[in-house]
Structure 1
Amino acid sequence: MVNVANDPGPGGADLPAPQALGATALPTRDLVTGVPLARVLQLPSLVGASVHAAPEQLSAVVTRASLYAADPQEGAAHHVVCLDPARLAPGTDPQLLVRSVADRGAAALVVTRNGGTGGGGGRHDWAAASASAGLLVVLVRGASAELVVTEVLGAVLDQQSGILARVDEAHQILVGIVLAGGGLQDLCERLAGFLGGATMVTTTDGRVLARAGAEADLESALALDCFDRTGRLVTERESVGIRDPRRDDAGRALVRIVAGQLDHGLLAAFVMDRTLTADDVHLLERAATVAALAITKEQAVSAVEGKYRAEFLRDALSGRAGSPTDAVAHAAALGWDVDRRLVVVVAETDEDDTQTTRSPEEVSSLQQRFARAWSQAMAVRDPKAPVVGFSQEVVALQAVPADADTDAIMRTVGEVVRVVRGDGGGGRRTFSTGVSRPIDSLAGLPAAYEEALSAVSVGRQLHGASALTHFDGLGVFRLLSLIPDSADLRRFVEESLGPLAHDDVAEHADLRTTLSVLIDTNMNVAETARLLFFHYNTLRYRIAKLEKMLGPFTSDPELRLKLALALKVHQMRGI
């Protein structure tokens, strides 16, 4: 304990602005804000008081003040408790009294008159009691306990009214931004100015829609563990509202952006040099209502624009958008650039919405969210790329360089797919993606769209959910997928492969692999043995066994073709 006696501090100084008070460290008991004890001790009634406290106790926060009561009806957490020793019963032990006040969570005990008749002991008794109980004790002369209570409550009220005025002023400014035609980016910029650090608006699953702040603050925020490698805020692990100041992440706060029953996303603030307090979070909540207004306005506008965009792209995909020249001009009016080399990308959810148990409203919400994720991921790379969501798919026309080969195109599309998935996608449904061959004119758009549809459908059959497939990678599977009756394909596999069509015997899958490699190597026994790590004689034995089951495929080219097709069909799923 240190004894700071007769230390009036900077008398007459104005109380700090609410933002400065918000930067003060909060106590470790409850998440509250108020006036720090260091400022309380500058009140007129306490100037010149003798203060017995550890230095860290001066940062404790006071929210109320009350007169001492021996048998209180409620706790005194964050109170300044004031007492006049003259009113104590004779023989009152300062040690026990200070301990009882400390146990009730008080921030400080103010002892006035410092003696007189009654109980309570002398100055040194109170100082010793303060050191023993670990409670800040203030000894003051010339002021009554009632006066101290009045001044402390006045300071708290001034503090709170200042905060409310500041928050209300900020709210009016933020509303004015939206009413003047501003959007989420303008909102974030002004909010970052109020709070310092970086601010962001994200979707419900963490896709960043707008962000603002100094470059260094943004980089520091994005380097936090609450962002994944794609730049998505991992909302599944983040709490909403004020945080315990003892936590390492108390410098960030998230609030929901809600309008009616709709959850539009999150408003987040990140500061690196202080703790975000309840007052900061209250400002964020007020800002979130403004953000909801901005998002609702943007959604109303985009709904109308999206309708016209979807109708135009649907016409273009079906070849009904007029001449290429007219279609290019129409697309430009909608903010799209389609007068370049393009590939059609179709992303289709793996869940069949016609067979789902979800409600129509939930399915619609999920599909809208899926389309927004694609739009946002594409907009970062190419703001003029067309992206439209239909009933169960999203279609994007992605620009590719003139010299890009298939591998380069797939790497580019794969980057967008990874961003949309976002390390789990925040609960988003899995989807498969198909990519067409490049086209140099919109005249080839209908054919490219069909290629992308084939790629996504066959790719899912070959690779399962979350497949990413280029049309050129389909090969013979493209022809097999055109057979509408899967029962015919199943019969063909069973008739061609016989017992090898099923896995009821563990050896059958291994024998199919051997047969497949033999056909791929054009019946080169030595090469097949090397690839399968078999001894030459072991492979000869297996070939004999396969011919006994399937026929003389080593000498019959038509039988080999039949078996090769059957193996390809066997790879396909859902037949």
Structure 2
Amino acid sequence: MTTPVRHTAADDPPGRMTVSGLLETSVLAGSDILAGSDGLTREVARFNVMEVPDIERWTRPGEFLLTAGYAIRHSPDRLTSVIEALHTRGVAGIGIKLGRYIDTVPPASLETAERLGFPVVSLPSGVSFDDILTEGSIDLVNRHVHTMNQADVLQRRLVDVVLAGGGLPAVTEALAHELNVAALVTTPDGRQITAAGAPEKLDVVRSSPALDDTGRLRTESLDGALGAHPVPADSEDASLSAAIVGVRAGDTDHGRLAAFATGRTLGREDLFALDRAASVCALVTTRDLAVSAVEDKYQADFVRDLTVGRAGSAEQTIAHARDFGWDFDRPLMVVVVEPDPGALDDDTSSTRRPLVERQAGAIAGALAHRDSGAAVVALSTETVIILGAETRERSEAKINDLVRTVRGRGGGGRKPFSVGMSRSCDSPAEIPTAYSQAATAVRVGRQVAGGESVTHFDALGVYRLLSLVEDQAELESFARETLRELADDTDEARDLRRTLDLLLATNINVAETARTLHFHYNTLRYRLAKLERVLGPFTTKPGLRLDLSLALKILAMRGLRR
């Protein structure tokens, strides 16, 4: 039984042809939908003719397939598996001319098509495939021309925004208005640079899987991938569609431009328009980078002078910093951020800005609403941050929160880094000392805790003193002579070192150490005796206990292995 054609093409975007729109053309006006009417909104991008048995492998997404059934004339039931394969490959639908080679479509095939929402259409008997291909292709060309014209208009309007002095926020706002979408511009790994659009649209995007809980576009997953695709929303009433393109200038990847729409599906014509808009974004980014490069150089030179005490008096420093928008007339602290070893080694691509610059940009963006008067400067191998100081606890909480935001969940190809924090200083004249403290904290913190460490200078304890010893061989020799066989890189040595460390931390309190290690009291007494046979009577010699404690810290800090 056939179902009358239901014309809903009036709702289609002008630049896109759907199956419904195709069936409205004069040449197909007498068609009947046999099954899969739920798929009438599938986009038709091209046509193909099925006259070979293995047509599935030759199809492409968006094709509308025409057939007289010749390839399945001896086995019509095979149409069921063909429909499943075509649906999987993203084919828009299939039009069958009945009566020539097959008289009816098998019921099983229609049931499968209905279940999949894959349109199966009975073509008018008096219409040739040439007529369909000709009229359909002309319609597609006209729609593509319309798409190009609309994209040209959009590009001209965005260029006008730039010529009027607008930056990325103004361009993004204009784009969101013209396309009626929520729009985001992000870094290559998805950190937001700017966002625009109606608040309710942005709320849907923020609650969708397209963004992680730090607000980063998931560029490493389908939800944030290039192209046009649906995105699950947090409500059944809020269908979300995404179209994402790259923002590139020559060979340099500056980031992503993403558009999100609710209640309609973004498609090829939207991607075409976004590509034009992305070229404008790349123009703005290149302009801004060229302008900021000069200012960045002055800022970097000033901070270098500041860290070595050559920036002038406190009054001069405060005034100079104010010219850059920095507030140094308050208690300050210095934070040093360094990429972890190896992060720079595999970041030699010429298509991206240098790693330290990218990390500094991400930090500056995340810090802007936390401390608008802070300085964030990228030097050759590190990012230096000078910001307002609070109590140690509150300062550490602020920096840890900042680090969590910048790292996100580690997706999008972002590189690991470690952080060192200084003590508070009351005057810009103390910044050289604070910078030295932060640099020591990041270096020693990484030695002790490994990569991606976040360390305050006051948390270093005795490690601060050990870090001042330049002769590392002497430190290693002292540790090995003191710990003897416990310095070996074996499971038994590591186990005994842990026991020794806890004994020293509890001032040789055997009962407390046994409880911490979940050992029986007699088991720990046995271990204690074994440790004294190897190391000497440290339970009765405070000096030996001090040597052992220092040796354990040297081993932890230097990561000695043999």
TM (norm. structure 2) is: 0.79
Partner of 1:443: 429
Q: Does the CA contact (< 8 Å) of 1:18 and 1:166 recur in 2?
A: no
How far the C-alpha of 1:549 sits from its partner, in A, is: 2.4
Partner of 2:320: 330
How far the C-alpha of 1:466 sits from its partner, in A, is: 1.0
Partner of 1:315: 305
Taking only the aligned residue pairs, the percentage that are identical comes to 41
In structure 1, runs of 5+ residues without a counterpart are: 28-34, 84-92, 112-119
Distance in 1, Cα, partners of 2:271 & 2:431:
50
Partner of 1:259: 249
Q: Does the CA contact (< 8 Å) of 1:498 and 1:550 recur in 2?
A: yes
**Equivalent of residue 547 in structure 2, options 544, 562, 567:** 562
Question: How many positions carry a matched residue from both structures?
Answer: 520
**Equivalent of residue 426 in structure 1, options 404, 412, 421:** 412
Q: Does the CA contact (< 8 Å) of 1:374 and 1:420 recur in 2?
A: yes
User: Structure 2 counterpart of 1:487, which letter?
Assistant: A
Describe the superposition over 1:217-242 as per-residue Cα deviations: whole angstroms up to 9, x where unpaired: 11211222232221111211237554
How far the C-alpha of 1:339 sits from its partner, in A, is: 1.9
Pair 442,389 (structure 1): closer, same or farther in 2 beyond 3 Å: same
1:52 to 2:32 alignment: yes
1:288 to 2:267 alignment: no
Distance in 1, Cα, partners of 2:39 & 2:352:
55
Distance in 2, Cα, partners of 1:58 & 1:528:
72
**Equivalent of residue 218 in structure 1, options 202, 206, 216:** 202
**Equivalent of residue 187 in structure 2, options 185, 203, 223:** 203
| SS of residue paired to 2:368 | helix
Pair 218,557 (structure 1): closer, same or farther in 2 beyond 3 Å: same
| SS of residue paired to 1:36 | helix
Distance in 1, Cα, partners of 2:494 & 2:65:
79
Partner of 1:269: 259
Q: Does the CA contact (< 8 Å) of 1:502 and 1:508 recur in 2?
A: yes
Q: Does the CA contact (< 8 Å) of 1:464 and 1:573 recur in 2?
A: no
| SS of residue paired to 1:416 | helix
Q: Does the CA contact (< 8 Å) of 2:356 and 2:380 recur in 1?
A: yes
**Equivalent of residue 495 in structure 2, options 510, 517, 537:** 510
Distance in 1, Cα, partners of 2:150 & 2:47:
24
How far the C-alpha of 1:147 sits from its partner, in A, is: 9.6
User: Structure 2 counterpart of 1:433, which letter?
Assistant: V
Pair 82,149 (structure 1): closer, same or farther in 2 beyond 3 Å: farther
Partner of 1:168: 152
Partner of 2:506: 521
Pair 413,62 (structure 1): closer, same or farther in 2 beyond 3 Å: closer
Partner of 2:538: 553
Pair 75,223 (structure 1): closer, same or farther in 2 beyond 3 Å: closer
How far the C-alpha of 1:432 sits from its partner, in A, is: 1.2
Q: Which segment is superposed worse, 190-199 or 258-267?
A: 190-199
Describe the superposition over 1:195-253 as per-residue Cα deviations: whole angstroms up to 9, x where unpaired: 22311111111111111111111121122223222111121123755446799998112
**Equivalent of residue 370 in structure 1, options 342, 350, 359:** 359
Pair 21,246 (structure 1): closer, same or farther in 2 beyond 3 Å: farther
Q: Does the CA contact (< 8 Å) of 1:240 and 1:256 recur in 2?
A: no
| SS of residue paired to 1:229 | coil
Partner of 1:394: 383
Q: Does the CA contact (< 8 Å) of 2:321 and 2:328 recur in 1?
A: yes
1:79-478 to 2 correspondences below 5 Å: 134-138=120-124, 156-238=140-222, 241-243=226-228, 251-351=241-341, 356=345, 359=348, 365-401=354-390, 404=391, 406-478=392-464
User: Structure 2 counterpart of 1:228, which letter?
Assistant: D
Distance in 1, Cα, partners of 2:484 & 2:250:
62
Give the alignment's Cα RMSD to 1 decimal: 4.2
| SS of residue paired to 2:220 | helix
Distance in 2, Cα, partners of 1:574 & 1:147:
77
Pair 62,217 (structure 1): closer, same or farther in 2 beyond 3 Å: closer
Distance in 2, Cα, partners of 1:57 & 1:130:
19
Q: Does the CA contact (< 8 Å) of 2:231 and 2:241 recur in 1?
A: no
| SS of residue paired to 1:561 | helix
Describe the superposition over 1:489-518 as per-residue Cα deviations: whole angstroms up to 9, x where unpaired: 0111122222222244x4333332333222
How far the C-alpha of 1:483 sits from its partner, in A, is: 0.3
Describe the superposition over 1:252-280 as per-residue Cα deviations: whole angstroms up to 9, x where unpaired: 12111111111111111111212111111
User: Structure 2 counterpart of 1:203, which letter?
Assistant: T
How far the C-alpha of 1:78 sits from its partner, in A, is: 6.1
User: Structure 1 counterpart of 2:269, which letter?
Assistant: D
| SS of residue paired to 1:135 | strand
Pair 371,425 (structure 1): closer, same or farther in 2 beyond 3 Å: farther
Distance in 1, Cα, partners of 2:41 & 2:547:
84
| SS of residue paired to 1:383 | coil
How far the C-alpha of 1:472 sits from its partner, in A, is: 0.7
User: Structure 2 counterpart of 1:180, which letter?
Assistant: A
Describe the superposition over 1:64-96 as per-residue Cα deviations: whole angstroms up to 9, x where unpaired: 8999x9xxxx9999679899xxxxxxxxx9xx9
Q: Does the CA contact (< 8 Å) of 1:18 and 1:163 recur in 2?
A: no
Q: Does the CA contact (< 8 Å) of 2:226 and 2:244 recur in 1?
A: yes
Pair 129,555 (structure 1): closer, same or farther in 2 beyond 3 Å: closer
Q: Does the CA contact (< 8 Å) of 2:240 and 2:262 recur in 1?
A: no
How far the C-alpha of 1:411 sits from its partner, in A, is: 1.7
Describe the superposition over 1:321-352 as per-residue Cα deviations: whole angstroms up to 9, x where unpaired: 11212211111111112222222111112216
User: Structure 2 counterpart of 1:474, which letter?
Assistant: L
How far the C-alpha of 1:105 sits from its partner, in A, is: 8.3
How far the C-alpha of 1:309 sits from its partner, in A, is: 0.9
How far the C-alpha of 1:157 sits from its partner, in A, is: 5.0
Distance in 1, Cα, partners of 2:92 & 2:328:
68
Q: Does the CA contact (< 8 Å) of 2:251 and 2:350 recur in 1?
A: no
For the pair shown, the structure with the greater C-alpha radius of gyration is 1
User: Structure 1 counterpart of 2:463, which letter?
Assistant: F
Pair 357,528 (structure 1): closer, same or farther in 2 beyond 3 Å: closer
